[in-house]
Structure 1
Amino acid sequence: MSEQVQALLEAPLEFWRDGLQFARRCEKPDKKEFLKICTAVGTGFVVMGVVGYIVKLIHVPLNHTLVGGA
């Protein structure tokens, strides 16, 4: 029984140690890397917006045609 309690108490401590080790190894991106990430995210937003707009352009007239428009 004591081993189970000890294992239960050890889990949060091990999680904390792993989190600290991860935080110590992380570093902030430099300006070039940051701009590359921003460009990739912005491009993704634009692509998803265009895809959504095209789907909406196809869906609305098709829906009105099939349903008969109200």
Structure 2
Amino acid sequence: MADIEKITDAPVEFMKDGARFVQKCTKPSQKEYLQLIRAVGMGFIMMGVVGYLIKLIHIPIRYLIV
């Protein structure tokens, strides 16, 4: 009987935690939203630059080896 209670308690606890999480969520202000957009944009740009630099280094090395 205890095993059945454990199995049924898990989804109930999950739903309670999910509801509590959604209640605590707030809509970001415009300032917070723009800050988030800038941070994500900078991340994309930085990852693009790193990928481009790796490709620039990799192409000549590949032709030197072959």
Task: Pick the TM interval, shorter chain.
Answer: over 0.9
Q: How many residues align?
A: 66
1:52 Cα deviation after fit: 0.4
Higher relative contact order by CA 8 Å / sep ≥ 6: 1 or 2? 1
AA of the residue aligned to 2:59: V
**Equivalent-residue separation in structure 2 for 1:39 and 1:59 (angstroms):** 30
Answering whether residue 55 of structure 2 is matched by residue 56 of structure 1, we say: yes
TM-score normalized by the length of structure 2: 0.96
Higher-Rg structure is: 1
TM-score normalized by the length of structure 1: 0.91
AA of the residue aligned to 2:46: V
**Equivalent-residue separation in structure 2 for 1:7 and 1:58 (angstroms):** 56
Ranges in structure 2 where 5+ consecutive residues have no aligned partner: none
**Equivalent-residue separation in structure 2 for 1:54 and 1:7 (angstroms):** 53
Percent identity among equivalent residues?
A: 45
Answering whether residue 22 of structure 2 is matched by residue 23 of structure 1, we say: yes
